[in-house]
């Protein structure tokens, strides 16, 4: 069994929970509250900004120039395709420049990006791939599951189209193959660490849907703190 197959099998219950999360199912049905999707777009834009930086870090850690160039291309795709899509969503959802300027990442978004940086700075290129791959792979599988859905909201249809595309599938397959190649060259201890990164990121993917669906807040947000200081 390939290393990627071992990972996918190990996280199957977690991914199944993502497939069945109401954020995902209601997006496919077109019934998801736009407030949840609006919140998701802002948080995911923050996440993708750091995801692209971790991709670039991975490229810098690669052993060969071809892989460095490929990872740089992946980071560029994150910026040009996914973040551009989110910019389009922001315009359609009426998200203002003031909202962007005052944005604060939610606890889950902050924790997830911090986990990816920790994997990168405490490990090697294989750790980076293991930490970022669930985002690629899970989104592709969700796109495949939802691609026959016909939500009556154009924003949801665009989201499904982006992640169920052949272009995105090729990116996912490339990273899976790269992870399998690295797995052949590292120690058992390193493989276990990579498995843990993959498992943790899979958990955070579920938590990200839940964060957006519940409009997660910090226990004490800035306005609450300032109100207490004035009192």
> What pLDDT does residue 54 have?
95
Please report how the helices 3-10 and 12-20 are oriented relative to each other, as an axis angle in degrees rounded to 10.
Answer: 60
Q: Is residue 196 part of a domain?
A: yes
Q: How many domains does the chain have?
A: 1
Q: How many CA atoms lie within 13 A of 168 on its CB side?
A: 23
Q: Is residue 173 part of a domain?
A: yes
Q: Is residue 183 part of a domain?
A: yes
Give the mean pLDDT of the chain. 92
Q: What is the pLDDT of residues 98-137, one digit of tens each?
A: 998 999 999 999 999 999 999 999 999 999 999 999 999 9
Q: Is residue 202 part of a domain?
A: yes
Q: Is residue 231 part of a domain?
A: no
Q: Is residue 10 part of a domain?
A: yes
Q: What is the pLDDT of residues 49-98, one digit of tens each?
A: 999 999 999 999 988 898 899 888 888 888 877 767 788 899 999 999 89
Domain that holds residue 146: 3-215
CA 70/CA 67 separation, integer angstroms: 5
Q: Is residue 116 part of a domain?
A: yes
130-143: b (≥16 Cβ within 10 Å) or e: bbbbbbbbbbbbbb
* CATH number of the structural domain spanning residue 93: 1.20.910.10
Q: Is residue 229 part of a domain?
A: no
pTM of the predicted structure, to 2 decimals: 0.92
**Active-site annotation, residues:** 135, 205
């Amino acid at each position: 069994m390939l290393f990627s197959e071992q990972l996918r099998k190990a996280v199957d219950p977690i991914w199944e929970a993502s497939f069945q999360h109401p954020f995902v199912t209601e997006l496919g049905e077109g019934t998801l509250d736009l407030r949840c999707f609006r919140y998701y777009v802002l948080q995911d834009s923050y996440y993708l900004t750091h995801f692209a930086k971790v991709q670039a870090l991975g490229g810098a850690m690669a052993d060969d120039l071809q892989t460095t160039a490929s990872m740089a291309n992946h980071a560029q795709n994150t910026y040009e395709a996914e973040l551009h899509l989110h910019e389009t969503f922001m315009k359609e959802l009426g998200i203002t420049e003031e909202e962007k300027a005052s944005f604060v990442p939610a606890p889950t978004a902050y924790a997830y990006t911090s986990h990816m940086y920790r994997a990168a700075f405490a490990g090697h290129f294989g750790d980076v791939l293991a930490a970022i791959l669930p985002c690629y792979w899970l989104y592709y599988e969700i796109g495949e599951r939802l691609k026959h859905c016909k939500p009556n909201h154009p924003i949801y249809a665009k989201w499904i189209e982006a992640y169920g595309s052949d272009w995105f599938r090729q990116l996912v397959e490339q990273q899976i193959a790269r992870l399998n190649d690295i797995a052949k060259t590292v120690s058992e201890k390193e493989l276990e660490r990579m498995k843990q990164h993959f498992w943790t990121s899979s958990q955070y993917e579920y938590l990200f849907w839940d964060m957006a669906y519940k409009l997660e807040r910090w226990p004490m947000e800035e306005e609450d703190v300032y109100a207490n200081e004035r009192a």
